Amino acid sequence: MSDYTSFSVGGMADVMACPMDEDDLRKLLHFAECKGFPIYVLGAGTNLLVKDGGIRGIVLNLSEGFRDIVFRGEDSLEVGAGVSLSKVVTIYKEKGFSGLEFAVGIPGSVGGAVAMNAGAYGGEMKDVVEGVEIMGRGGKVRFIQGSNVGFSYRGSKLPDGAVILRVRLAFKRCNVEEVEKKMIKYKAMRKKTQAMNMPNAGSIFKNPGGESAGILIEEAGLKGMRCGGAKISEVHANYIVNLGDANAGDILALIARARDKVYQLKGIVLEPEIKVIGED
């Protein structure tokens, strides 16, 4: 899985399946259910830490087949779950669409961004999602309105076992130069304040109740702390970077150290933003 995560770490998965269409996916889900095999839906692996023992079951990768982009009416865009968020941001910029400026520089797939309600600079995916098409148990496909997706801070609440197929995004037409100006501003801010030159998974912890997780970790004196091949970034303390030879155990040790130290000093429990899966 190190080849499929932005951390560049992670053990072997038993199987990775790349369905090309809904019929492929329906057959795969039926097969897994009959055999009792667990399924993990992989986005772009940018908000994910896979443990060194790897993943038992089937990793479902939609990036090969679910890449359609279709305009719906005058103010919405329907995008396959496997499309990269950066590609959609580029479409918004080139067309002069407003609403997704906050997402410039956020890696990952559209499906993954919706599942975790990705956001930055005061914007979140929930602000632009009109609805989500999912495949549920039994291979049934249905459309869920954005208001019923159950968006929360860096999360959503879709039905158990549901796989996101497509996302319908709203947009407002705006001056191309104004949209580009906002994106340039946000991109510069991201480059200045975030660790972008080494493998990482973005923010490790959610910001707790108006506090900055990065500042809390920095105030705990952990900026630059190393464990094996992993290090708490000196650019932004809420990032952990892979120096080149890290394993998942190194990263997990730093996560535990940051949580413990911040709780000891501040009485605040940091909640992980990244997803940790797999076996030790």
Cite the active site residues. Answer: 154, 203, 273
- Secondary structure E strands in 69-154: 69-72, 76-80, 97-98, 119-120, 123-124, 129-135, 141-145
Burial class (CB in 10 A: 0-12, 13-18, 19+), 172: exposed
Kindly give the pairing relationship between strand 39-42 and strand 275-277: unpaired
Rounded Cα distance, 216 and 57, in Å: 37
Residue-wise DSSP of 92-114: HHHHTEES-GGGTT--SBHHHHH
Q: Do 110 and 129 form a contact (C-beta atoms < 8 A)?
A: no
Among the listed residues 258, 260, 146, 127, the one whose alpha carbon sits nearest the alpha carbon of residue 203:
258
- Secondary structure E strands in 121-234: 123-124, 129-135, 141-145, 163-170, 172-173, 226-227, 230-232
